[in-house]
Amino acid sequence: MGMAQTKYSTSASNKATTAPVQSLALHRRSFLAAGAAMLLAPRGAWAQEAPKMFSSNRPPLAERKFVSKAVEREIDRVSALIKDPELAWLFQNCFPNTLDTTVYMGQVGGKTDAFVITGDIPCLWLRDSAAQLRPYLHLTREDPQLAELFRGLIRRHARCVLIDPYANAFMRDPGALTSLSWSKGDRTEMKPGVAERKWEVDSLCYVLRLAHDYWEFTGDTEPFDATWAAAAKMIVATFKEQQRVSGPGPYRFQRRSDQPTETTLAGIGVPTRKTGLIHSAFRPSDDACTFPCNIPGNLFAVATLRDLAEMVGPVLHDAALAAEALTLADEVERAVYKHGTMRLPDGRQVFAYETDGYGNHLFMDDANVPSLLGLAYLRAVPADNALYQTTAQAVWSEANPWFFSGRAAEGIGGPHIGEGQVWPMSITIRALSSSDDAVIAGALKTLRNTHAGTGFMHEAFDKDDPKKFTRHWFAWANGLFGELVVKVARERPHLLAVDY
């Protein structure tokens, strides 16, 4: 997740304040060393009580970055189904937050370009940007301008991959050097256009998933030109390179930091046995892997390689690339089931979070997706897969060192923020992955009660006091919550017809 000049605000606005409460080198989605002090700040430094009348916290219409009539209609439709006024208000603020605040449209080579920032950092993360648009996919047939936004981001992703497939974050200007102070001293091959260069297998998976799902839903082949085809081939080549069968490949990364999760051993991580698994230097949290073979990332790679194979035949007419993607997916999947499972002390068989191929495994889960909990949501495993179900139960328990239960909530956090900090994203993903009304209703109630009066999701909050939170402007978490509410409205509207 990088280090960031994170901005904190005491207001309920979804825009960053012009002057940060503190200017420190902080993680992109956290504050690490400075975080302890910030978490202990007085209540007034963090949040205010939810307004009784629930006034909109969206920017004025003229200040919104992107306006979709289809999205506005969806907000009205879903809101009409929600009895609880605070839950409705939260949905109305969160669901359009990406469009309202993070989208920058332009033209490149006479075609639409879309640059989507994370929120409080003015750079594009491949993972975040793809996930941020996901909640609007079902509306693209109704709104040509919204479809054009998807096309623009698909094109931007392809150009980013061709700049550097090992980078996780990019600048709006492809000729610009990084503006992120924490990246400027990194010992890696930084190129113009790259904001941060942390190799994370899931970054490329998200590029494939966004492209596939847009094509599958709309049938639109327009953005899949020669540039996109070259990016797709580079993704497959990079995955194969990071199986490290014939060596570690060209990627190296080290960073001076007080946090061991910000750098890698010898630039590549600990030694591994080459089993067919794809190696990653960093996790979806942007924290360094303990063992380089991250199992959720590998399973996501399997799923998205199969996505690629499904679309490149009819779209690119490239049977060779489809065959190569399928062969690689099968190879990685076999390696996951051979080397990526383990037994817990109580005897339960589960997916590991990471492994080195030598028989060493790490069991934990992190809130960021891909996670073990999020495998069914990502279509990386079937929801009724017995191994997944056992794993999901285990990560939502004390078997996971990053699961926390307190007076305000229970959920999964991660090393990125630290002990005792619950990420709303984990609560949302659990509900999105569940068919249990009690689990889904419990998640809606918890999320409604832990936004600290701001009307938005946060990165993390204290398990005992949600008024102590990080990141007031985190568009991915906002959109994911909106996606959950839309899904509940479609599949279980009775859960919205109650007061929480």
**How many structural domains are present in the chain?**
1
Q: Tell me what pLDDT residue 15 has.
A: 30
| Residue 174, Cβ density class (10 Å: 0-12 exposed, 13-18 middle, ≥19 buried) | middle
Map tokens 């190696």 to a residue. Answer: 279
pLDDT category at 30 given cuts 50, 70, 90 is very low
**Residues 43-102 pLDDT 10s:** 333 334 545 579 999 999 999 999 999 999 999 999 999 999 999 999 999 999 999 999
Angle, nearest 10°, between helix axes 144-163 and 201-218?
150
Q: Tell me what pLDDT residue 52 has.
A: 57
**48 vs 265 pLDDT, higher one:** 265
Alpha-carbon gap, residue 240 to 233, rounded angstroms: 11
Alpha-carbon gap, residue 173 to 288, rounded angstroms: 27
pLDDT category at 22 given cuts 50, 70, 90 is very low
Residue 467: which residues within 8 A CB-CB, separation 6 or more? 43, 46, 47, 452, 453, 461
State pTM to two decimals: 0.91
pLDDT category at 32 given cuts 50, 70, 90 is very low
Q: List alpha helices for 113-263, DSSP H.
A: 126-133, 144-163, 201-218, 226-241
Alpha-carbon gap, residue 26 to 415, rounded angstroms: 14
Could you tell me which of 294, 295, 292, 300 has the C-alpha nearest to residue 273? 292
Q: Tell me what pLDDT residue 450 has.
A: 98
Say whether 250 sits in a helix, a strand or coil.
coil
pLDDT category at 42 given cuts 50, 70, 90 is very low
With vertex at residue 159, the alpha carbon angle to CA 186 and CA 374, rounded to the nearest 5 degrees, is: 75
Determine the average pLDDT of the residues in 106-133: 97
Percent of the chain with pLDDT over 70: 90
Q: Which residues pair with 351 in a beta bridge?
A: 341
Range of the domain at 275: 3-496
**Residues 399-457 pLDDT 10s:** 999 999 999 999 999 999 999 999 999 999 999 999 999 999 999 999 999 999 999 99
Q: Tell me what pLDDT residue 318 has.
A: 97
**Residues 154-206 pLDDT 10s:** 999 999 999 999 999 999 999 999 999 999 999 999 999 999 999 999 999 99
Q: Tell me what pLDDT residue 51 has.
A: 52
Q: Is the pLDDT of residue 293 over 90?
A: yes
- Residue 404 φ then ψ, to 5°: -130, 145
Residue 397 contacts residue 350 (beta carbons within 8 Å): no
Q: Tell me what pLDDT residue 46 has.
A: 31
Determine the average pLDDT of the residues in 309-315: 96
Determine the average pLDDT of the residues in 210-225: 98
Q: Tell me what pLDDT residue 53 has.
A: 74
**Residues 330-356 pLDDT 10s:** 999 999 999 999 999 999 999 999 999
Q: Tell me what pLDDT residue 324 has.
A: 98
Q: Assign residue 229 the CATH number of its domain.
A: 1.50.10.10
Map tokens 């879903």 to a residue. Answer: 78
What does DSSP assign to residue 454? S
Residue 149: which residues within 8 A CB-CB, separation 6 or more? 66, 68, 103, 105, 112, 114, 133
pLDDT category at 242 given cuts 50, 70, 90 is very high
